[in-house]
Amino acid sequence: MSKPIAGGSNGAAGLEVALPHPRAVGPQIRGRILENERLLAFALLSPTVLLLGMFIAYPFVMGVWLSLSSTSVGNIGEFVGAKNFVKAWNDSIFRTAFQNTFVYTFWATIFKLSLGMWLALLLNRSFRGKRIVRASMLLPFIVPTVLSTFAWRWMFDPTFSVLNWLLYKSGFIVTKLPFLSDGTYGLWCAITVNTWRGMPFFAITLLAGLQTINPDLHEAASLDGANGWQRFWNVTWPLLKPVTLVVVVFSVIQTFSDFQLIYVLTGGGPANATHLLATYAYQIGVATGLLGEGAAISLFMLPVLFVVVWLQLRYLRRLEGA
Amino acid sequence: MDRRGFLKSTGVAGILAAGRAPAFAQGTKLHLLRWVDFVPAGDQMLRQQLLPEAGKALGVEVQLETINANDLQPRITAAIQSGSGADIIMTLHNWPHLYKSACVDVTDVAEGIAKDQGGFYAQAEQAVKDGKQYLAVPFGVNGLLIAYRKSWFKEAGADTPPKTLDEYRQLGTRLKKKGHPVGQTLGHTFGDAPAWSYPMLWNFGAAERDRQGRTKLDSKETVESVKWMTAFWKDACDEGGFAWDDTNNNRAFLAGEISATLNGASIYIAAKRQQDKIKDEHGEPMWRDIDHFAIPAGPAGTWGYHIPFAHMVMKYSKNQKPAKDLLKWLGAKEQFAKWFEVMDGFSAGSTKYWERNPLWGRLDDAMKLYRTAAQASRIIGWEGAPDAKASEAYSKYIITDMYAKAAQGQAAPDAGKGATSELQKIYG
C-alpha cells in the first residue's frame, strides 16, 4: 500500500512505498563478499581450475603414478620407483621409437615450415581465384587425420599401391617400392603425410603474419634497391619471426606426441621400425596391458618437450624485448 | 477405455498377477563385444537369429557390437581399467590369462559344455583354463591352412602340395619367378602372423620357453628356422607382407596377386559365395582352382597353430549371471550348430563333437581338411604354459618380429639373440 507524502524533488508530492522489510545484515554481507576481490576471483576461477584439475592435472598425476608402479591391466600394482624407466631405456625398440620421434619431428617440422612459408608467400600475392585457392588449401588440415591417413595407406598399399602403379606405368620403376613394408620407407611416408597434413596450418598462420606487414616497408626497401631475396631476408623474415616461432612451438608439440597418423599408417611396423614414443607407449600400455611401463614410455616425452618449448619461448621473449 | 481395459491392454494386469515384473521388462541388457567376422554370415546369424532367440529364452536383451579384431585388446584394457563396458568380450589365443583378474569364473558353464560334447581340444582348453578354473568359455577353433592355386602349382611342377618346408621353398621360388609369389604376413596383426611364425619354431624343434617357463629360444634350432624363413621370404614371398594385416593376404589372393597363403577358410568361402565376381585369369570362378594344405613338415614335425576363440564374462559386469546363462545357451549343441553351419568350416568348433557334424559331408573336398585341422595344434607359450607371460610375449609380437628382422637383413643368430633378450625380460 502507498500514500502521498511531502518531500518529493522540487517540492513535488512524494509517494511512500511499503517495501518488504529486509534483514539489516544481508546486504552488508553480500556487498562485502562482492567487493572482496580475492573471493570474487576465486569464484570466477574455480570452474576453470576444476576443469583443468579434472582433465589435465588428474590424468597427469595418474600417469606419473602409473609410471612409478607395476600396474598392469586389472592389477593395481605396487610402487617400483624408476624401474619402468630403466627397463624402457634398456629396450631396443624403445630406443628406436625415441630416435624415430626426433627424426619424424625434425624433418616434418622443417618441411612444413619451408613449404608452408613458400605457400604463404605465393598466396600473399594477388591473383584470380585467390580465395578459392586459400580455402581449398586448408582441406588437408580440415579432414580428420584418421580418414586422410587411411586414404594415404591405400595409396602406399604393399600390393595395390596406386603410386607404385603410376611410377611403374610411367617407367620410373621396374619393381614395387616398399612404401610401408620397409622401415626407412615407412618413416619417410609418415613424414610425407604429416607434412601434407600440417603444411596448411603453417601456411595460413604465416599468411596472416605476412598481411600484417606494412607494404610501405617493402616499397621503401625496393626504392633503396633491395632485390626480392633481400626484401624477404631483411624485411619480411624479421617481422615474421615471432609468428613463425609460435607456429613452430605448436607444431613441435603436436608432431612429437603424434599418435593417430603412425597408428593408422604403419601401426609402428614393420617389425617396430616406425614406432614413435606415443604409439609404442600405446602398444605396451594398452594393447599389451602393461600400464606402468606404457606410462613410463610416454613420460619420456615430457622433459624433451619441456626443454624444447622453454628454449623457444625464451627466444621469443628475447625477440619481443628487442 | 476403463481402468480394467487399460491394465489388460498394457499387460500391467499380468505383472500384478505374477507379483513381479517379467524378466524382459526388468530391463536386463547384455552387451556382447566380438570381432567383425571374416564370414559375415556368422555375425548375421548371431544378430538376426540367435541373440534375439536367446533374448526370448533367457529374458534378456542382447546387444552385439563388432569391432576390428586388432582393436579388441585395447578395448579390453580400457573396459577393465574403467570398470565399465561390454558384459561379455570375445578373446583370441590365450588372452584370458592376461586378463584373469578381471574374468568371472565360468568353470560350471565350460565344464557343462565339455561334458556334453566330449571334451575341448587341448589348445581350446589351455587357452582359457588357469589351474582348475575356466577364465572364459571356448567358442570354436579357427583352422589355419595354406590356401593355394592348384593350376599355378601345377604349372610350377607340383601336382600335389609340398610335404616338407624345403620343398615348399623350392616350389615357392619357381612360383615367384613365374610372377605368382607366396603371400604371408610378418606384420603386427592378430591371427595370420602368429599362426605362421610360431609353428616355424615348433617345426624346427625350437621353443620360446621350456617346461619350467624359462626362456629357451636361444638355440641352433631357432637359428635354423630363422634361416629357413629368411630364404623363403627372399626366394618365394611377396616382400610387401611385412606391412600386411590379416585382411591383406585375402585381398591379394582373391585379386590373383599371390599363389598361396596361410589363412582361415575365409578365402575359399568368399571365392565361392561371390563366384560371379571373383574369377581367375581365364574368367572362371576362382574357387574351383583353390585347395588347401597344412604347413609342411620341418625337421621336427608338422605342427600348426589353430586359433582358439572364447568369451569372457567381465567381473565389472552387473549382469554376470545372465551373461553366463547366455554363454551356456549359445554353447549348447542346438544353438551352436546353427552358427557353426553358417560358418561353412571357418570355425571347427571347440570340441571333437563338431568333427562329426553333417556339415562336413556337404562341404567341397577342398574344405574337408579343416574338419580335423585343430587336432595338430600347439599353443602360444609352448613348451611352457600358455599363461599371462606367454600372452604378453605374443602381444609384443616378439617371435614374429624375430623372423621379420631377419627377413629384412639382420643375421639369423642376431635376430635370435635379440628376441631371446626380449623374452628373457618376460620369462626370465
Q: Over the stretch B315-324, which tens digit does the pLDDT of each residue have? A: 999 999 999 9
Would an 8 Å CB–CB cutoff place B74 in contact with chain A? yes
**What are the chain B neighbours of A287 within 8 Å (beta carbons)?**
73-74, 77, 395
Cβ-defined contact of B188 to A74 (cutoff 8 Å): no
Q: How many CA atoms lie within 13 A of B354 on its CB side?
A: 37
B181 and A CB contact within 8 Å: no
8 A C-beta contact, residue B117 and residue B322? no
| C-alpha cell at position B80 | 577393465
Q: Do A73 and B77 touch (CB under 8 A)?
A: yes
Residue A12 has pLDDT above 80, yes or no: no
**Helices A237-256 and A92-123: crossing angle, nearest 10°?**
150
Residue spans per domain, chain A? 93-321
pLDDT in tens, B359-378: 999 999 999 999 998 888 99
Question: Does B392 contact A289 at a Cβ distance shorter than 8 Å?
Answer: yes
Residue A281's CB: how many other CB atoms inside 10 A?
27
- Regarding whether B66 and B178 lie in a shared domain, the answer is no
A271 and B404 in contact by Cβ < 8 A? yes
So what's the pLDDT on residue A314?
Answer: 86
Task: Report pLDDT for B323.
Answer: 96
Confidence of residue B26 (pLDDT cuts 50, 70, 90): low
Q: Does B187 touch chain A (CB under 8 A)?
A: yes
CA distance B14 to A58: 51
Query: Chain B contacts of A271, Cβ < 8 Å?
Result: 186, 242, 401, 404-405, 408
Average pLDDT over residues B164-171: 97
Nearest CA in chain B to A71: B81
Asked if residue B237 lies in contact with residue B187, where contact means CB atoms within 8 angstroms, the answer is: no
Per the model's pLDDT, the better-predicted residue between B231 and A18 turns out to be: B231
- Whether B380 maps to a domain, the answer reads no
List helix spans (H) across chain A.
26-35, 37-52, 58-67, 83-89, 92-123, 130-137, 139-142, 145-155, 162-169, 183-211, 215-223, 228-231, 237-256, 260-265, 277-282, 291-299, 301-321
pTM of the model: 0.83
Residue A277 has pLDDT above 90, yes or no: yes
State the pLDDT at residue A309: 82
Residue B316 at interface with chain A, using a CB cutoff of 8 Å: no
* Confidence band, pLDDT 50/70/90 cuts, at residue B401: very high
Residues from chain A contacting residue B102 (CB–CB below 8 Å): 73-74
Closest chain B residue to the Cα of A179, Cα to Cα: B240
Q: Is A267 within 8 Å of chain B by CB? A: yes
> Given an 8 Å threshold on Cβ–Cβ distance, is B238 in contact with A182?
no
The arithmetic mean of pLDDT across residues B379-400, rounded, is 92
Distance (Å) from the alpha carbon of B218 to chain A's nearest alpha carbon: 18
Confidence of residue B8 (pLDDT cuts 50, 70, 90): low
Least confident of A89-98, A276-285, A291-300, B19-28: B19-28
Residue B286 lies in a domain: yes
What are the tens digits of pLDDT across the range B57-98?
Answer: 999 999 999 999 889 999 999 999 999 999 999 999 999 999
Q: Is there a single domain that holds both residue B256 and residue B218?
A: yes
Closest CA to B266 of B233, B297, B307, B237: B307
Does residue A188 register a pLDDT over 90? yes
**Whether A291 and B188 lie within 8 Å, measured CB to CB:** no
User: What was the pLDDT predicted at B19?
Assistant: 46
Partner-chain residue, chosen from A93, A270, A288, that has the shortest CB–CB distance to B242: A270
Question: Which residues does chain B have within 8 Å of residue A178's beta carbon, measured at their own beta carbons?
Answer: 239-240, 242
Assess whether pLDDT exceeds 60 at residue A31: yes
Predicted confidence band of residue A7 (pLDDT cuts 50, 70, 90): very low
Question: Contact B243/A186, CB-based, under 8 Å?
Answer: yes
- Please judge whether B99 and A291 are an interchain contact, meaning their C-beta atoms are less than 8 angstroms apart: no
Q: Hunting for cell 553480500 — which residue is that? A: A30
Q: Give B21's pLDDT tier (boundaries 50, 70, 90).
A: very low
Shortest Cα distance, chain A CAs vs residue B187, angstroms: 6
Residue in B98, B251, B422 nearest the CB of A289: B98
B172 and B280 fall within a common domain? yes
Determine, for residues A289 and B242 on separate chains, whether the beta-carbon distance falls below 8 Å: no
What is the rounded average pLDDT for all residues in chain A?
A: 87
Q: Is the pLDDT of residue A82 over 70?
A: yes
Is residue B87 in some structural domain? yes
Specify whether B226 is located in the same domain as B173. Answer: yes
Binary contact (A269, B395; C-beta < 8 A): no
Q: Which residues of A touch B243 (CB under 8 A)?
A: 158, 179-181, 186, 266, 269-270
Both B410 and B278 in a single domain? yes
Averaged confidence pLDDT in chain B: 91
Co-location of B139 and B159 in the same domain = no
Residues B115 and B167 in one domain: no
Alpha helices for B130-191 (secondary structure H): 150-155, 165-177
**Contacts by B167-171, CB closer than 8 A, 24 or more apart:** B167/B296, B168/B232, B168/B236, B168/B296, B169/B228, B169/B231, B169/B232, B169/B235, B169/B236, B171/B236
Give the confidence band of A2 by pLDDT, cuts at 50, 70, 90: very low
Residue A147: is its pLDDT beyond 60?
yes
Q: In terms of Cα–Cα distance, which of B314, B315, B306 is closest to B377?
A: B306
Instruction: Indicate yes or no: CB of B418 within 8 angstroms of CB of A92.
Output: yes
Mutate to test the interface with A, among B188, B190, B230, B245 (most CBs of A within 10 A): B188
B62/B126 same-domain check: yes
Q: Given A159, A268, A270, which is nearest B248 (Cβ)?
A: A159
**Is the same domain home to B99 and B37?**
yes
CATH code of B94's domain? 3.40.190.10
* Euclidean distance between CA atoms A202 and A117, whole angstroms: 7
Query: Chain B partners of A270 at a C-beta cutoff of 8 Å?
Result: 186-187, 242-243, 404, 408
Mean pLDDT of B399-409: 94
Say if CB B82 and CB B309 are below 8 A apart: no
**What is the reported pLDDT for B4?**
55
| C-alpha grid cell, residue B365 | 573336398
Is the pLDDT assigned to residue A8 strictly greater than 70?
Answer: no
Say if B208 falls within a structural domain.
yes
In this prediction, residue B20 carries a pLDDT of 47
Superfamily of domain A93-321: MetI-like (1.10.3720.10)
**Cβ <8 Å between B102 and A183:** no
Residues B183, B300 within the same domain: yes
Cβ within 8 Å, pair B188-A158: no
The DSSP result for A254-271, as a single string, is HHHT--HHHHHHTTT-ST
Residue predicted with more confidence, A308 or B15:
A308
- For residue B22, pLDDT over 50 is answered with no
B392 min Cα distance to partner chain A (Å): 6
* Whether B243 and A266 lie within 8 Å, measured CB to CB: yes
- Interval B146-166 mean pLDDT: 96
Q: Are residues B187 and B118 in the same domain?
A: no
| Pair (B42, B121) in one structural domain | yes
In a domain, B61, yes or no: yes
Cβ distance A289 to B401 less than 8 Å, yes or no, reads no
Q: What's the first-to-final CA gap in chain B, in angstroms?
A: 77
**Is B33 domain-assigned?**
yes
**Per-residue model confidence as pLDDT tens digits over B98-132:** 999 999 999 999 999 999 999 999 999 999 999 99
**What is the structure's pLDDT at A39?**
85
A77 close to B (CB below 8 A): no
| Residue B299 Cα, gap to closest chain A Cα (Å) | 27
- In a mutational test of the A interface, the residue from B77, B100, B245 whose CB has the highest number of chain A CBs within 10 Å is B77
Nearest neighbour of A270 by CB, restricted to B73, B238, B243:
B243
Please tell me the total count of domains within chain B.
2
* Assigned domain for B40 exists: yes
Is A289 within 8 Å of B251 when comparing Cβ atoms?
Answer: no
Q: Could you tell me the residue range of the domain that residue B35 belongs to?
A: 21-143+306-375
Number of CB atoms found within 10 A of residue A123's CB: 19
Lowest average pLDDT, out of A2-16, A307-321, B331-345, goes to A2-16
* Whether B83 contacts chain A with CB within 8 A: no
State what percent of residues in chain B have pLDDT above 90. 86
- Residue A271 has its nearest CB partner, among B80, B255, B408, at B408
**pLDDT given at position B3:** 52
Mutate to test the interface with B, among A69, A87, A92, A159 (most CBs of B within 10 A): A159
Q: Pick the more confident residue, B309 or A133.
A: B309
Within a domain: residue B52?
A: yes
CB-based contact, A159 to chain B, within 8 Å: yes
Across the A/B interface, how many CB contacts are shorter than 8 Å?
A: 108
